[in-house]
Amino acid sequence: MAAPFPSPTTKWHTETYQSISPIRPELSAKGRTVVVTGGGTGIGAETARQFAEAGASRIALLGRREQPLLDTKSSIQHKFPGVEVFVAATDVTNKDQVDAAFAEFACGGKIDVLVSGAAIIGPQDPVGNVDNDKFLEAITQNLKGSLSVAQAFLCYASSDAVAIDINSSAAHVNFGPGLSAYSVAKLAVYRLWDSLAFANPDLSVFHIQPGIVDTAMNKEAGGVKATGIEDHGK
């Protein structure tokens, strides 16, 4: 079938692949320390659970709201009691809060994996009539958050550390005029992480497009209800 909206790939798949098992030996995260921003709900929370199942020894969950972080921590430790889960209510746009959270979690050690997932949608208006201040504020918030996290990560990254930027194909494909602020922000964030990778060749930086996952942020943009298509965080 033809893609129902602009597709970043030449082939459109209508059947989902089975999720990749985190217990596959070659994907082991045994003994690794992991930081997940936006770790209280949605994709971030599910990613943290998958790392726990893959054998990570310590996982930090950062996000603005403490209760969802505590809920995710509880769900991880209920199933994987041997995993240490650190929680810090953190606004990633606040550099002091980010630096403090990373320092407390690292506790003199190193961080092996970072999953950068915190983001906002911003105003959903086309360029022609969007409020200038709100448009620029959304870009600034997304970029400032990623920059603060990237700088803190560099302070504690292990020699072969991995950073995973949860990005969006909206950075490269025009899905609709109402996603202008979000698209610009995501492309800026994409280039930020690529710049970090260029300056630090020993680190591995990946960008992922998770699809249309029914998270609170995705619902705000119409998401599954608007497209009739749903991917899954797992």
- For residue 115, CA distances in Å to 10, 37, 91, 149 come to 28, 6, 15, 10
Over residues 118-161, the pLDDT tens digits come to 888 889 899 999 999 999 999 999 999 999 999 999 999 999 99
pLDDT of residue 215: 62
Over residues 182-229, the pLDDT tens digits come to 999 999 999 999 999 999 999 999 999 887 665 666 655 666 566 667
Q: Answer for the pair 215, 118: CB distance below 8 angstroms, yes or no.
A: no
Measuring CA to CA, which residue among 174, 84, 111, 186 is closest to residue 145? Answer: 186
pLDDT of residue 224: 59
Over residues 151-176, the pLDDT tens digits come to 999 999 999 999 999 998 888 888 88
Does residue 92 register a pLDDT over 70?
Answer: yes
What's the pTM value of the predicted model, to 2 decimals?
A: 0.90
pLDDT of residue 11: 81
Over residues 51-65, the pLDDT tens digits come to 999 999 999 999 999
pLDDT of residue 231: 67
Q: How many CB atoms lie within 10 A of CB 121?
A: 19
pLDDT of residue 3: 77
Cα–Cα distance for residue pair 14/12, rounded to 1 Å: 7
Q: What average pLDDT does the segment 69-73 reach?
A: 97
- The torsion region of residue 85 among left (phi > 0), alpha (psi -120 to 50) and beta comes to beta
pLDDT of residue 66: 96
CA 83 and chain centroid, separation: 21
Tokens of 220: 């705000």
The single residue listed with the structure tokens 């003199």 is: 108
How much is the mean pLDDT over the chain? 90
- In this prediction, residue 79 has a pLDDT band, given cuts at 50, 70 and 90, of very high
Does residue 22 register a pLDDT over 60?
Answer: yes
